[in-house]
């Protein structure tokens, strides 16, 4: 699933490609894409609207519309937003097409059909997860703190981990209502850089370890953006190009290989239902997990 660096890469590209363009026509080619809103009503709300800006919130691509609304796109596992500046053959897994008044277009392709689109109040994206999310409520109303924002300080992270002290640290990093945008790959890379085992209870981290984790998260996310995101499988940017971050992974996907820091064999385990990679020497397991 595309994470913060991949979504940020797409948002930055689209900012220069679609800002100022007016939507002439919206065609939905997968009936569940706009659920629960019917595609015909979705099209009526979108057509004729001018895109005033493009940004990222968590793992959502956000196209701001004049009037205060925002079109949010969740790429999920295999979604791609592809800008088309001329007539080209449609992507074989195209699920929607946004045609602009000047003849350009934005395609949404999605092999596995997990991606979704919604038109929401742009102001609803500005919260920071203060209220507990209720079952069935949309995630975009409860996104947490952006890890590259000024609000995300080591002090904030320390307090966040203290409040959930009994939980394992890695699943906490993936909770989008706490920290918005961090996914499995970058959590794994950050924990390795900070020398913290994925199963460490959050409340057991010392102040210096929290400082290391704070630095590591921001470092790996910025590096991911610099390399255009990672394309271990399906990810493509708005021009259809692969990212290069997968060539920079230290531990993700490298089970059985030597740790680049100490030489110990990298191990693969499952934490919170997600495949996890760590170095058993650099990232010492908590006593109960040894």
Can you give the residue ranges of every domain in the chain? 4-125, 154-289
Each residue's pLDDT tens digit, 64-73: 999 999 999 9
Each residue's pLDDT tens digit, 203-250: 999 999 999 999 999 999 999 999 999 998 889 999 999 999 999 999
171 part of the active site: no
226 part of the active site: no
Cα 185 from Cα 278, distance rounded (Å): 12
Q: Return the CATH number of the domain spanning residue range 154-289.
A: 1.10.8.50
59 part of the active site: yes
pLDDT-derived band at 288 (thresholds 50, 70, 90) equals low
Spatial CB neighbours of 13, under 8 Å, sequence gap ≥ 6: 83, 237, 238, 239
Could you please state the CATH topology (level 3) that the domain comprising 4-125 is classified under. N-terminal domain of MutM-like DNA repair proteins (3.20.190)
Lowest mean pLDDT among 15-19, 87-91, 94-98: 87-91
Spatial CB neighbours of 101, under 8 Å, sequence gap ≥ 6: 21, 22, 23, 24
Catalytic residue selected from 3, 8, 107, 146? 3
Cα 47 from Cα 22, distance rounded (Å): 8
3 part of the active site: yes
Catalytic residue selected from 254, 274, 281, 284? 274
What pLDDT shows up at residue 88? 83
Cα 7 from Cα 73, distance rounded (Å): 10
The pTM (predicted TM-score) of the whole model is 0.94
Same fold, 4-125 and 154-289: no
Spatial CB neighbours of 267, under 8 Å, sequence gap ≥ 6: 255, 277, 278, 279, 280
């Amino acid at each position: 699933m595309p994470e913060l660096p991949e979504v940020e890469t797409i948002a930055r590209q689209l900012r220069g490609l679609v800002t100022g363009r007016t939507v002439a026509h919206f065609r939905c080619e997968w009936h569940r894409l706009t659920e629960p809103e019917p595609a015909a009503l979705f099209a009526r709300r979108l057509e004729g609207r001018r895109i005033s800006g493009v940004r990222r919130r968590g793992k959502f691509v956000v196209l701001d519309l004049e009037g205060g609304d925002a079109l949010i796109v969740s790429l999920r596992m295999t979604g791609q937003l592809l800008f088309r500046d001329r007539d080209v053959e449609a992507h074989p897994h195209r699920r929607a097409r946004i045609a602009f008044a000047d003849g350009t277009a934005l395609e949404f392709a999605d092999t596995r059909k997990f991606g979704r689109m919604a038109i929401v109040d742009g102001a609803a994206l500005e919260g920071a997860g203060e209220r507990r999310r209720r079952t069935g409520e949309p995630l975009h109303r409860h996104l947490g703190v952006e890890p590259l924002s000024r609000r995300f300080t080591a002090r904030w992270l320390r307090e966040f981990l203290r409040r959930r002290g009994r939980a394992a640290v890695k699943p906490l990093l993936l909770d989008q209502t706490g920290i918005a945008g961090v996914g499995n790959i970058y959590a794994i890379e950050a924990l390795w850089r900070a020398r913290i085992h994925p199963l460490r209870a959050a409340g057991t981290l010392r102040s210096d370890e929290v400082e290391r984790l704070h630095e590591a998260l921001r470092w790996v996310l910025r590096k991911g953006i610099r390399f255009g995101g990672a394309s271990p499988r399906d990810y493509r940017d708005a021009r259809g190009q692969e990212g290069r971050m997968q060539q920079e992974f230290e531990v993700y996907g490298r089970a059985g290989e030597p740790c680049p820091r100490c030489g110990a064999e990298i191990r693969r385990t499952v934490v919170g239902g997600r495949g996890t990679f760590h170095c058993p020497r650099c990232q010492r397991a908590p006593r109960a997990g040894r």
